[in-house]
Structure 1
């Protein structure tokens, strides 16, 4: 009897050792890779632009929350659709995510023939910022307010140049709407991102931009460019001297340049939840709030930061803007 018990005990010990040895392999592959591998945050535009700036503010803090490394990767080109395809094809394990906005995750779907669906091929993670655009110009432009800018454009039809981050981007669409609303005509000059376009605006190589406030405000505050209006019904707290489009004489030209974070479709819910929790914690940081505010970005209320809220908002924006874009017959250049 004693020998039988000893034999059974030995078998139990051996089985326990086998279970322990196999336990790591039995864990879900997605959980392993998410906890042990770096996260790549794909930015759809060149380094130095507004979306890249927001990504870099968030990346280090998200890394600290998740106790891992977050690598920012700039994948520029085709108005952000090259990056979109890259993330849509990535493994849905939480190690590849993307930052995007009104242009990349709404407008692109109405303008380009994409190898992916801007809604169906991504898992919403979190809404991170609500921004606006500024109508800005080179410092030497012979116009000091929006009415004078419109008059100058009408006096020089087809001669002025407007920088964009590519055909079909928010800057391009805003420019098209501005043309239609004012009866003006000018040429679009596409760049690989708003950052490179701003460099040429500061250098006086192009005349105007319809640019995200986060990209333009630092240059405006440094006196390197002129700002004519905010595409919002309210002034920016960080730049209260810039009038709204309503005040400047072009009422109703409202454009919200919001940003969000997405993962590839079929990323497990527990991973999306963990990513969202880390991002929500980062957005609650007072230093992040202050940095965003300086860039003209407003962090949405907590109830609007969930994956479900981003999904609802993106669909609503699609229903709002797609008919407008198609009616204007905006096409890639």
Structure 2
């Protein structure tokens, strides 16, 4: 009898032990990530807004999670090289992409795209939005959106607008404005926002939709005339500049945005851990100050909300591109 009792006690202890292991192992798996260095891939050269934001996030992740998150720049093909690289990477949380609005534009813009922005990625977190601003050379004869539209209607093709390149948010903001205002403007693409700004200041182009951070110093110096903000609300940096929605374009909302995504199939617990950590990083006072300096705005979001946002952006820009007959081989 004594032997049987000891056997029962031992069996019970073993079953409790296995049960405890079963209960604790998922929690253990959750806390293991990351176990070694990870990389955040950027589809543009160092120094641009995408790269700057990626470095802010990478530093924060390194500090919070105790492993290095290194930014890797893979410029080319309008960020498609980097996007395709991450889409094909192992879905283990160690290869991330700082996705920009450009990727959702490229999905329709390019004829031979290799990835599907809605199927090949696990959205992690929307990091920031940066408004575009419609600006004009200070010597132009128009001083408001209404005067610009009236001038373009009276003199078709007399207005030239510049951009940082075909397919960028600056270019497609111009195309969207043309469609909604019912006007024509000649588009001249440049090899980056720097050359485009030089052309605008020099009068080679007359107007431009530009990211707020690069136009702000010229607006303050009086070299550019700001006509409207493309976001849904006014910018705290220029509270007197109206939004295009206020000026009678209710469907005009364009924010250059940036967010972290991982390859599709990345475990949910890793995605959720990254999302929670990024949200924590973005709420730190020193990071808020950095983002304010870029004219960037953040908003709390879940991976599911970011995924819905990516889908909406892909559809919206697809409509604009198809309507404008724009494509890149």
TM-score by length of 1: 0.77
Aligned to 2:211: 212
Q: State the Cα distance separating 1:153 from its structure 2 match.
A: 4.1
What is the CA deviation profile of residues 45-68 of structure 1, one whole-angstrom value per residue up to 9, with x for unaligned ones? 333333233223333223222223
Higher mean C-alpha displacement, 198-207 vs 286-295:
198-207
Aligned to 1:77: 76
TM-score by length of 2: 0.77
1:226/1:276 CA distance change after superposition, 3 Å: same
Aligned to 1:107: 105
Residues of 2 paired with 1:137 and 1:46: CA distance?
27
Contact 1:92 1:268 in 2 (8 A): yes
Gaps of 5+ in 1: 1-26
Report SS of the residue matched to 1:92.
coil
Contact 1:46 1:192 in 2 (8 A): no
Contact 2:129 2:257 in 1 (8 A): yes
In the alignment, does 2:165 pair up with 1:166? yes
What is the CA deviation profile of residues 200-226 of structure 1, one whole-angstrom value per residue up to 9, with x for unaligned ones? 444555432222324433443344433
Residues of 2 paired with 1:150 and 1:193: CA distance?
26
Aligned to 2:125: 126
Contact 1:79 1:167 in 2 (8 A): no
Residues of 2 paired with 1:66 and 1:150: CA distance?
52
Aligned to 1:256: 255
In the alignment, does 2:55 pair up with 1:56? yes
Q: State the Cα distance separating 1:300 from its structure 2 match.
A: 0.9
Higher mean C-alpha displacement, 116-125 vs 269-278:
269-278
Q: State the Cα distance separating 1:247 from its structure 2 match.
A: 4.1
1:323/1:181 CA distance change after superposition, 3 Å: closer
Aligned to 1:12: none
Aligned to 1:18: none
C-alpha RMSD of the superposition:
3.0
1:328/1:187 CA distance change after superposition, 3 Å: closer
Aligned to 1:36: 36
* Residue 322 of structure 2, aligned match among 309, 319, 326: 326
* Residue 306 of structure 2, aligned match among 299, 307, 310: 310
Aligned to 2:226: 227
What is the CA deviation profile of residues 252-276 of structure 1, one whole-angstrom value per residue up to 9, with x for unaligned ones? 4222333211112223333323322
What is the CA deviation profile of residues 139-177 of structure 1, one whole-angstrom value per residue up to 9, with x for unaligned ones? 443433222333444566445443334322222221112
Contact 2:164 2:196 in 1 (8 A): yes
Gaps of 5+ in 2: 1-27
Q: State the Cα distance separating 1:135 from its structure 2 match.
A: 0.8
Residues of 1 paired with 2:199 and 2:65: CA distance?
38
Aligned length: 299
1:193/1:274 CA distance change after superposition, 3 Å: farther
Q: State the Cα distance separating 1:85 from its structure 2 match.
A: 1.4
1:79/1:209 CA distance change after superposition, 3 Å: farther
Aligned to 1:143: 142
1:252/1:272 CA distance change after superposition, 3 Å: closer
Residues of 2 paired with 1:62 and 1:218: CA distance?
31
Report SS of the residue matched to 2:35.
helix
1:323/1:73 CA distance change after superposition, 3 Å: same
